[in-house]
Structure 1
Amino acid sequence: MSGVDAGPGLRAYVDGAAAVLTEAGVPSPRHDALALAAYALGLPRVEPVMAPPLPEGFAAQYAELVERRRSREPLQHIVGHTVFRYVTLRVEPGVFVPRPETETVAQLAVDEAAAVAARGGSPLVVDLCTGTGAIAVSVDTEVAASRVVAVDLSDEAVGLARHNAGAVASRALRVVQGDVRDPALLAELDGTVDVVVSNPPYIPPDAVPLDPEVRDHDPDLALYGGGSDGLDVPRAVIAAAARLLAPGGLLVMEHAEVQDAQARAAAAATGAFEDVRTVPDLTGRPRTLVARRIARAVVGDSPA
């Protein structure tokens, strides 16, 4: 039949691709093989047992896609998008790809913003080091009353976050370019923010990621946190939160599982937080700092 690939059926193609990806060490070979097949067919998803007829040229196109994934190019870069919580976001090379574990971080921010809204407020949320805008967009779309400001230093990230915000978020989401280490960043919001949330760069310089998808494709600016322990940028996030948060406001920040004690110590050292604790991710690893802003101290000042 003209225009239809007369080769093997989709199940055979997917089985073969999954075997190739398994041999290459890809962590989720069958999932990725199916995702690439769906992308090649222009469909959101496919089921091999109910597959549509394969168009002419499918075999060659699919082989090219599988080869890219076999070389450990991120699946998200190949298909151009990723799903984060309830939204689909554009993903581009040069901007950190959001991971499923960060959905736990977003959940804490969503819950706090929702609690403020339930009390009749219009929660103001600041997402520092926003990347694709994944957390900011999640808060915006899940808590209708929220006002969200997303910040990133990278030109590429700011552009991509603005695209994602324009595609799925409300007009209340604002994306700005700025450096979290700048003590004047968002100074007009000092003392008024309900939630500061961040997935900052935090990898130490000697802890090069093992996964090629991260090591070879995520930008260094989004990976390495600076300083011998990787916590220069996270400490700047904590300092910014101490300045930006209103009394009772909440800081939520992702970190590496080996940095939980250091992150808590950094928050405690400001004198600006209480109820400083670590929240585990979905696998039980200590990955998120949570701290409540108190009224009696400001960074650099004596207790009021």
Structure 2
Amino acid sequence: MSTLPQHPPEGTGPVRPSAAVARSARVLAAAGLGSARVEAELLAAYVLGVPRGRLALADDLSDDQLARLDDLTRRRAGREPLQHLTGRAGFRHLELLVGPGVFVPRPETELLAGWGVEQAQGRPDPLVVDLCSGSGAIALSVAQELPGARVIAVERSPAALAWLRRNAAERAAAGDRPIEVVEADVTAPDLLADLVGRVDVLLCNPPYVPDDVVVPPEVAGHDPAEAVFGGADGLAVIRPVVTRAAALLRPGGAFGVEHDDTHGAAVPALLAGHGWFTAVTEHRDLTGRPRFATASRRADGQHAPVGAAWQTDSP
């Protein structure tokens, strides 16, 4: 791993943010990080306590601040997640608290959250459920963007629940409609039994990476394995979630589930073959990869013959 040059000894004067960013970026680039410059700017902005866009106007870094930036840079070069270093992860219009024990929300999941918001809009007092909620990214985004919605976030992991509850409390204090947090296993056949046939929109970003897939160091060393891996084929959680979604959704209710990019055919086929869903659609992310599948609970409330067709949406 590349090492940082020694910063000027105490008393030799402050360092301009541009110079500090440049040296940090060189180390991150040497460590193989493709977004080295951006991440160096984010780390420098974090140390200085300013938005990234105001770095050029920020004060010089003191010796202590430069030492702190050097430490953070070394840790990032060692593949500790950037979000763990800053303690925050951006998601749609939110900044969420994250750290050890909770899955760091990814930008591609913003598409599923946005789809969910669109589906809930226009429904009177919509009830939205977010399964495998983790940090609460999807649930809290819906609650912020749709103040009239009742939002329930379901999570099993005690460590993730702690982060979820902290984020929920922070957003409620900021004025968003409070969400309801439920500790439960989403694969349980009696999940949310009191809501059967009442949910308007059900969203889920489950663990879905097949067990034998090699994941990046940031994931392997820091994201909880139970939030990443979904069994031999990656569908161990998705299968029971699809079944439970059919029970929880009201007729005409909307279901969206994120999946591995190798599941672009498998998950839509699972939904289409279930018999309780129509309008099965596969969606791609901004890189063109299959990312999430959606469907509508049959409006007549009936079970249709299996084998319904499904379609692919454009990103």
Give me the TM-score of the superposition, normalised by structure 2.
Answer: 0.88
Structure 2 unmatched ranges of 5 or more: 1-9, 305-315
Name the counterpart of 2:307: none
Is the 2:130–2:138 Cα contact (8 Å) retained in structure 1? yes
Matched, 1:40 2:40: no
Matched, 1:222 2:227: yes
Is the 1:5–1:54 Cα contact (8 Å) retained in structure 2? no
For 1:74 and 1:59, how far apart are their aligned partners in 2?
Answer: 20
What is the CA RMSD across the aligned residues, in angstroms? 1.7
Structure 1 outlier segments of 4+, above 3 Å: 46-49, 169-172, 295-299
For 1:129 and 1:204, how far apart are their aligned partners in 2?
Answer: 17
3-state SS of 2:122 partner: helix
For 1:273 and 1:235, how far apart are their aligned partners in 2?
Answer: 14
Matched, 1:196 2:202: yes
Match of 2:139 among 132, 136, 146: 136
For 1:5 and 1:262, how far apart are their aligned partners in 2?
Answer: 62
Deviation at 1:4, TM superposition (A): 7.8
Q: Which amino acid aligns with 1:239?
A: T
Aligned pairs for 1:69-108 (under 5 A) are 69-108=76-115
Name the counterpart of 1:251: 255
Is the 1:5–1:58 Cα contact (8 Å) retained in structure 2? no
3-state SS of 1:175 partner: strand
Give me the TM-score of the superposition, normalised by structure 1.
Answer: 0.91
Deviation at 1:240, TM superposition (A): 1.4
Deviation at 1:102, TM superposition (A): 0.4
Name the counterpart of 1:122: 125
Deviation at 1:5, TM superposition (A): 6.8
For 1:111 and 1:203, how far apart are their aligned partners in 2?
Answer: 27
For 1:194 and 1:247, how far apart are their aligned partners in 2?
Answer: 8
Matched, 1:14 2:21: yes
Name the counterpart of 1:208: 214
Deviates more, 1:253-262 or 1:100-109: 253-262
Deviates more, 1:246-255 or 1:236-245: 236-245
For 2:224 and 2:55, how far apart are their aligned partners in 1?
Answer: 35
Name the counterpart of 1:302: none
Match of 2:236 among 232, 236, 247: 232
Is the 2:155–2:161 Cα contact (8 Å) retained in structure 1? yes
Matched, 1:297 2:302: yes
Deviation at 1:48, TM superposition (A): 4.5
Deviation at 1:14, TM superposition (A): 0.5
Deviations 1:254-302 (A, max 9, x none): 0011102110121123211001110111222111110000134369xxx
Q: CA 1:48–1:166 in 2, change beyond 3 Å: closer, same or farther? A: closer
Number of aligned pairs?
Answer: 291
3-state SS of 2:264 partner: helix
Deviation at 1:129, TM superposition (A): 0.2
3-state SS of 2:275 partner: coil
Name the counterpart of 1:163: 166
Q: Which amino acid aligns with 1:95?
A: V
For 2:162 and 2:141, how far apart are their aligned partners in 1?
Answer: 18
Structure 1 unmatched ranges of 5 or more: 300-304
Deviations 1:81-117 (A, max 9, x none): 011000110001110000000000100001011131x
3-state SS of 1:260 partner: coil
Matched, 1:182 2:188: yes
Q: Which amino acid aligns with 1:212?
A: P
Deviates more, 1:92-101 or 1:260-269: 260-269
